[in-house]
Structure 1
Amino acid sequence: MPDRPVPDALFQDRHKTGMRTRREVLGDAHVDRAEAQTSDLDQPFQDLITVSAWGTVWASDAISRRERSMLTLALLAATGNWEEIPMHIRATARTGASRRDVVEAFQHVAIYCGVPRANHALKLAKQTFAEMEEEEESR
């Protein structure tokens, strides 16, 4: 990560917590790839995500990571943010959310936000789980 000024101790603490949480949830390989692709242009945005999403929201112990994972998947499906769903499906291996949990979250989306969104999210989940199985078998 490039050297840059850090505004204050709270930012430093949240950033450190965020990187640890992000790695625990998404895995080192994903975070390392994302960090390697970061440029001066998007570094402030990456810091915002690390501090806010990972250092504050995901780091909170108010709800479990399993629950947070299910909420995240449901929200991504409900808002049609398809490109993020596979990453968060992969994260379920580390958050404790089961395949059944994922299906339940998407069923909730179907009822409250529409069947087409839930159906597409489930299609992405099936593809991602299949890829994960293939990767596991090839190890």
Structure 2
Amino acid sequence: MSERRKQGEATRRRTLGDDHVNRSQQTGTDFDTPFVDLITEAAWGHVWSRDTIPPRERSMITLALLAGLGNWEEFALHLRATANTGASAEDIREVLLHVAIYAGVPRANHAFKLAREILAEMEETDD
């Protein structure tokens, strides 16, 4: 395992949480292992591990891109990760307002719906 891959694994765990990463690894197969290696090294090791942009802001950028592109499963995953990155509900709202203007109201509308549901779930588990 390369140093970049190890760094990516640590960043992925710090951002998404051990439970998610462990579940992901348990359901992996020989077929998708090369893909997991790729995203762990490239996305998590090369991009998310850079210290130029703090995790909070990187998380907000990621949410905007995922919502703007309509990648709802990944949007939900990264919205839950805000518990670890420090992006607040207010930050998420601001991101989604930007999505409405720059990527379209229908995408933002759906993202707001998902965010309301997920943030409520997260609040319940914190209680």
Give runs of aligned pairs for residues 40-79 of structure 1, distance below 5 A.
Answer: 40-79=30-69
Q: Which has the higher contact order (CA 8 A, sep 6+)?
A: 2
Does residue 124 (structure 1) correspond to residue 114 (structure 2)? The answer is yes
Quote the Cα distance in structure 2 between the aligned partners of 1:44 and 1:90. 25
Deviations 1:5-29 (A, max 9, x none): x5xxxxx101100110000000000
User: TM-score with structure 1 length normalisation?
Assistant: 0.89
Choose which of 77, 101, 114 in structure 2 pairs with 1:111: 101
Deviations 1:77-98 (A, max 9, x none): 0000011111111111111111
Could you tell me which runs of 5 or more consecutive residues in structure 2 were left unpaired when the two chains were aligned: none
**Aligned position for 1:3:** none
AA matched with 1:42: D
Could you tell me which runs of 5 or more consecutive residues in structure 1 were left unpaired when the two chains were aligned: 1-5, 7-11
RMSD of aligned alpha carbons: 0.8
The number of residue pairs the alignment matches comes to 127
Q: Secondary structure of 1:107's match?
A: helix
**Aligned position for 1:34:** 24
> Which of structure 1's runs of 4+ aligned residues deviate more than 3 A?
none
From the CA coordinates, give the structure whose radius of gyration is larger: 1
**Aligned position for 1:99:** 89
Deviation at 1:136?
A: 2.1
